[in-house]
Amino acid sequence: KNQVEQSPQSLIILEGKNCTLQCNYTVSPFSNLRWYKQDTGRGPVSLTIMTFSENTKSNGRYTATLDADTKQSSLHITASQLSDSASYICVVRAAGNKLTFGGGTRVLVKP
Amino acid sequence: GAGVSQSPSNKVTEKGKDVELRCDPISGHTALYWYRQSLGQGLEFLIYFQGNSAPDKSGLPSDRFSAERTGGSVSTLTIQRTQQEDSAVYLCASTPGGAGTGAFFGQGTRLTVV
């Protein structure tokens, strides 16, 4: 069964600090992996997309990594800002196009 | 429209009543997903439509929940005899298919059962 597990479920960090979110998946055959940011009361918005051959991709202060061998991805937030407070969702696409969504990690950045 | 549209944006209903939530996907998108997000919880998969294939209903929590997608476009999620635990934000997402495409999400319907 295709699954996407995210950890931690939630975390609190101080403004200016870094944090790393984890995504482990069992989706096969793998096509790509996206990280989404969901602000409170809004729909999720795509941050990055990772394909099989990509190990690292950055979008501003967000850096995503992918290890296709271990089926793990991480999203690193550098120098966190209050506006980073949101839910971060990992979504994996199988080669047959079906998406499997992780449950998300809720991040709270405190001043 | 340019994006996925969900209606209503907010719905307050009495326990025991039926509700219908609507999702208008982006035109031409073949796949459509319903999720719900309870307060303080992550996304919970409900149902997946892909083209003319039989929908994947494996995430529907009970037989009070059902969904349809007419003509491969608009989808309606129906909850019968609503319970307080049904209170959540119901999110709809659609994708056009193809490996490079991501999901496009609606803004969600916030359902409150009182």
Q: Is the CB of residue A108 less than 8 Å from the CB of residue A17?
A: no
Average pLDDT (A29-44) is: 86
Asked whether the beta carbons of residue A34 and residue B103 sit closer than 8 angstroms, the reply is yes
The pLDDT of residue A80 is: 96
Instruction: For strands A86-94 and A72-77, give the pairing.
Output: unpaired
Interface test mutation site (partner B, options A99, A100, A107, A108, max chain B beta carbons within 10 A)? A99
Comparing CA positions, the residue from A89, A98, A50 lying closest to residue A71 is A50
DSSP state of A8: -
- Residue B82 has a pLDDT of 97
Strands B88-95, A62-67: pairing is unpaired
pLDDT tens per residue across span A58-77: 999 999 999 999 999 999 99
pLDDT at residue A86, rounded to an integer:
92
Nearest to B95 among A9, A99, A103 (CB): A99
Of B4, B103, B108, the CB nearest to A99: B103
Determine the pLDDT at residue A16: 96
pLDDT at B100: 57
Residue of B nearest to A95 (CA): B99
